[in-house]
Structure formats: structure tokens, C-alpha cells
Amino acid sequence: MQGKAVDRRFCFERNLLALSTHNPVLCSRLSGAETTLGRYRFPEARSGDIVPALVDKSGAAHPLHSMVDPRREGERLVSALKDEGFLVFLGLGGGYAAEAALARAGVSRALAIEYDINGLAELLSSREYINILGDSRFTLMADPAPEDIEALILEQYRPALEGGIKTFPLRARTERDISHFNTAAEAVRQSIEKVSSDYSVQAHFGGRWFSNIIRNLKTAEAQNRSAPPIREAAICAAGPSLDEQLPLLAECRSSQSAKKNGPFIISADTALPVLLKSGLSPDAVVSIDCQHISYYHFMGAFPGDIPLFLDIASPPLLADLSRSPFFFSGGHPLAAYISQKWRPLPRIDTSGGNVTHACLSLAENLGAERITVYGTDFAYPGGRVYARGTYIYPFFERKQTRLSPLEARFSAFLYRVPFLPPEAGQTGYYETAAFRFYRRAFEEKAAAMGAEIIPAPGSGAPIRIERQAAPGKRPRTLRLFASGAALTGSAEFLAQYRKAIAALPLPGTKTGAYLEELDNDERQVLATLLPQTAAMKRRRPNLCTAELIAQVKARSVESIDRVLTSIGEAPAR
């Protein structure tokens, strides 16, 4: 039986009112949509519930749910959920599965993706969706671009708190719009890949990041120098090609015309010993790794007058090596919190996952118009792993034994992860999935910059830069690379931050509701703890969300207390 026509406008307006609270933009789009184009018919199931039936070109109607009991079907669909707290529904239909999911305690977020704004308007005219549209955990997207889907998932999905993510395609709907929904499914897949990669890094380094950052604040408080703008830069990574490219860099540095206007050499920390051994002193060194292995790059006679650009999450000992340390903010939420609440730190793009990407971002921030890159192989050319003089050579030399000689050490290092098949027409180097990700991220960033970027001839993976704008055409922004003024002393900031962590409420049974109930300041504090939460979850996977947050809060407070005690400040109680 067809739904009552007299109720359709009333249902539509009620649904739009519920939607307007959390999604006013979509509400506005729907208010101008057509609801009488006949995209759907709305028969009743045996249970009395309305079942949307999609009408095809021949006029046949295809029910999207069970014609017996669509609610029970929706409950059965989500009953197999385990630790998945973030759900993606491809196709809204009658909303029965989404409604059943949101009734479960473990579900924190639900996203429904639909195409055809007029068809969606018809759905919202068929029955009331208020239970889901009015739920702050639910998001409805209509005709989204793939990048919009990806951006929303990357923004909202917090695996440390919400567990896994699961996609539910509404088959009767997706099979009749395969192109759109396949595109959406691919966007979801790519989002999950990015989140998983980031979460894996957080799970390994979340605790160390936090510890390093709060220990670096005392040194960062004294940071009062600035780095002037530059016009030309040379970036040095530690790929094997650097060995052959060093004479070219040395010639550029020593030429008569370069004495006054030579390139500003920015070295990745890994490449530093190679340059120093060759008699080339860089103008800046960049380090972003939070691990103690970073020390190896600086062992030996490190000239303390070389400016050292450090992620605020770098090991604290590194800042002591230079008389000119510059702390910057990478991607850590605590660094962003520090910049907002205490002292604005310069921002460097570390999203490429490697120090070479950060070097490129530094050159951009300093206003370089021409950038030559050396040693950026993003591969193992000829089976070689690093340029001669990097830390790995003396490290493996000390580790070698009669049963495991130097060659065996390098071979094990080379083959520790699988290689990707070579791209068309490319030979002579070995590429891993990580290397390919690094290279493509580097290429994307380089393409979006206004500077002219020139890869030095090498034997690694070729860097292809498809420019989004002609190099040198953008107006040059001359700005100093410096931190803003601190609002308080570092000890006072840490004491205030400690108090905010201690006061952070614990979640109840519904994680999604917990996140919505926090005020803006509390959500910011929670965000700073998420990498630590991922690390704790890795070590203790059986903890529920409330126990997890409680453990992370306690550990964070203890870490801050130790830092305050070490600098002669009594921890606030």
C-alpha cells in the first residue's frame, strides 16, 4: 500500500528540522529539492513499516529492505558487530540499519552516503528519520565528492576510542548506481588506509611524543631567535645518489658567483654526517624523528653554530647540541594545543612522513623561489641503502660478527620489507610501499608550491612534478621563521595543562555521546591525549574506553609531575 500523501510534506519538514541542527548546509540543499519526481514508491511491509522501493527506467519498483520486517532485518545486519564503532552505510534507504546501529552502546559514529538529492528528498518525505537525523553521532552526505568523504572520515574517526570501522552497502540501492557507490567505497577504503597508517605510528610512538614534547618546553621557552627568508635552497637527503651529487653541490657552493648568492643548504639529519665528512657545512639541519636513533646522525664533531630545526616532539637532548635550535610544530595535536594555548610555534608540514618532506616545507616557509634537491632517491638504487657516511655504516660495522658480516647486515636491512613491482619503463632501483608513498607526497607538495624545484640527476626513483601553477609566478611572502610570544612561563603552562587533564571527565558506555558532551576545551585536551591512547591500546587491548582514558590521564599527569619536579617546580595538586 502506498504511504499517505497527506503526510508526506509533514514528514519532510519534520525531517529537515531534525537535520538542520547538525547539518544546516544539507538541510538548505534539500529544502529546494523536488519530492514528486517518482524516484521511489513506498509500499508497506507486513510489519507495517514503510519500505522505499527504487523505481528503474522501465517503471519496475525494487524494495530496498525486507517486505516482512525491515526493522528486524536492520537489527540482524548490525548484530554481528564486534569492536567496530564507526559505521559507514552506502545508501540510506529507510534508515533501519542506521537506526539499529545507533541503538547499540558500542557505536560512536554512523555515516550514510546517498546520491541524487531529489531521490533523497523523496526518502525524507516517506517516513520520519528523526531518531537518526537528530542524533549528533549520525552524518548524512548527499552527492559527495570522494575527497569530501575522505576528509570527513579523517576528521571524525578516532580509532583509539572508537575501535574499528565497517562499511554496510545497501545492495538493492548500490547495485542500481554502481559507479557512484563504487567511487564512495574506494574513498572510504583510502581513508581507512590513511587512518590505519597514522594510527599505527601513534600506537608505536604516542607515549614518546608526549614525553619529548613536555620535556622540550623549557628549552622552547628560551627560543627567541628567528630565521631570515631566503631565495635559493639546496635540500640534501641521504639517498645513495648523494655520493655522486656531492661534487655538483660543492661546485655550486664554491663558485665565484655563489659566494654572495649561493644556495641555502638544508640538510636532513640523516645526511648531515655525509655533508660534514665532505667538507660541506649546511646552513640548517632538520630533524623530525622522536626516537633516540636520531642521536646517531649527530655523533662526532657537530658544529654547534649550525641552526637545528626540530619538531617539538624530538628527543630533548638534540636541542642541547646546537646553539641555534628552532622548534616547530609538526602534526601532533599537543603541538597544536601548545601553539594555541601557550606559544605559537612555526608550522612545518610533516604529513609526508619523512624528513625530506619537512625540509621542502622549511624551504617553502623561508620563501625559497628555487630549490634543488639532492639525494632524494625514494628507493634503493642498485641495492644500496644510504649514502656513504650516514650513521648506518659505523652502526653495522660495530654490530657485525663472523657469522653475520657487514654484507649480511645490509642485505637483511635491504630485504626487511617487500619491494613493489617497478613502474613502467623503470629499472635499476628497488622501491617499497613506504618509499612510493613518500615520493608521491613529495611530488604533490612540490607541484602545489610556487618555487622552481629541480631534482639533481640521480639513480633513484624519478621525481615527476606536475605543476599546479607556473613556478615563480606566485607573490613571494617574506616572513621570519620564529615563535610567537609566550603567554606564560613553561612551568605555569604545564601546571595548567596538568589541571585540565586531571579534570577531564571519563566516558560512559557510549563513546560517541561522550565526545559530544565534552565542551570545546575538553575536546582539545582529549585530542592531545589520543596518540598516547593509541599506544596504551596497543599494549593493553582489553581495556574498555573508560579504563583506557583513565590510564592515559594518570600516566600523563605523572609525566608532567616529573618534568615540573626536574625544573624545580612543585607539581600542582
For the cut 50, the answer to whether the pLDDT of residue 70 exceeds it is: yes
pLDDT at residue 412 is higher than 50: yes
pLDDT tens-digit series, residues 275-290: 999 999 999 999 999 8
Tell whether the model's pLDDT for residue 364 goes beyond 60. Answer: yes
Which CA distances in Å does 53 have to 57, 115, 140, 252, 336?
Answer: 13, 15, 20, 71, 48
Query: Which spans in 518-571 are helix H?
Result: 520-539, 545-566
What does 315-373 look like in DSSP terms, one character per residue?
-HHHHTT-SSEEEEB-S-HHHHHHHHHT-PPPB---TTSSHHHHHHHHHHHTT-SEEEE
What pLDDT, on the 0 to 100 scale, is given for residue 474?
A: 52
Between residues 542 and 295, the one the model is more confident about: 542
Residue 4's pLDDT band (cuts 50, 70, 90): very low
Question: What structural domains does the chain harbor?
Answer: 5-176 (3.40.50), 205-209+486-566 (no CATH), 229-288+348-455 (no CATH)
* 3-state SS, residue 266: strand
Q: Residue 467 to residues 348, 360, 443, 472: CA-CA distances in angstroms? A: 21, 15, 9, 11
Alpha-carbon gap, residue 435 to 439, rounded angstroms:
6
Q: What is the pLDDT of residues 250-282, one digit of tens each?
A: 888 876 454 556 799 999 999 999 999 999 999
CA gap 294, 545 in Å, rounded: 34
Q: Find residue 453's DSSP bridge partners.
A: 371
DSSP-derived letter for residue 481 is B
* Terminal alpha carbon distance of the chain: 67
Query: At 500, is the pLDDT very low, low, confident or very high (cuts 50, 70, 90)?
Result: very high
SS3 267: strand
Three-class SS string for 133-198? HCCCCEEEEECCCHHHHHHHHHHHCCHHHHEEEEEEECHHHHCCCHHHHHHHHHHHHHHHHHHHHH
Q: What single letter denotes the amino acid at residue 136? A: S
Three cell numbers at 407? 654484507
Average pLDDT, the chain: 89
Rounded to 10 deg, the angle between the 117-126 and 8-22 helix axes is 110
Task: Write down the pLDDT at residue 260.
Answer: 58
Joined together, the cell numbers standing for residue 512 give 560517541
**Sole residue written with cell 653554530:** 305
Least-confidence region, from 306-310, 442-446, 484-488, 507-511: 507-511
The secondary structure of residue 176, as a DSSP letter, is T
Bridge partners of residue 285, in order along the sequence = 267, 308
Q: How do 61-63 and 138-142 pair as beta strands?
A: unpaired
The amino acid at residue 328 is F
Out of 5-9, 84-88, 404-408, 533-537, pick the least confident.
5-9
Cβ contacts of residue 519 below 8 Å, gap of 6+?
none
> Which pLDDT score, from 0 to 100, does residue 397 have?
85
Closest CA to 356 of 334, 377, 338: 377
324-348: per-residue pLDDT in tens? 789 999 989 999 999 999 999 999 9
pLDDT of residue 256: 47
pLDDT at position 1 is 34
Instruction: Please report which confidence band the pLDDT of residue 468 belongs to, taking 50, 70 and 90 as the band edges.
Output: low
Across the strands, what pairs with 165? Answer: 86
Task: For 178-229, write each residue's pLDDT tens digit.
Answer: 999 999 999 999 999 889 888 888 888 999 999 999 999 999 998 877 888 8
| pLDDT attached to residue 403 | 85
Contact 21, 130 (CB under 8 A): no
Report helix, strand or coil for 387: coil
Cα–Cα distance for residue pair 112/524, rounded to 1 Å: 27
DSSP state of 422: P
**Residue 22 pLDDT more than 60?**
yes
The answer to whether 529 and 537 are in contact (CB under 8 A) is no
Q: How much is the average pLDDT of 231-249?
A: 95
What's the pLDDT band for 480 if we cut at 50, 70, 90?
low
* Cα distance between residue 362 and residue 71, in whole Å: 55
Place of cell 609531575: 561
- pLDDT recorded at residue 222: 86
In this structure, is the dihedral angle defined by the CA atoms of residues 464, 469, 472 and 475, taken in order, positive or negative?
negative
> How confident is residue 163, by pLDDT bands cut at 50, 70 and 90?
confident
Residue 476 has pLDDT above 60, yes or no: no
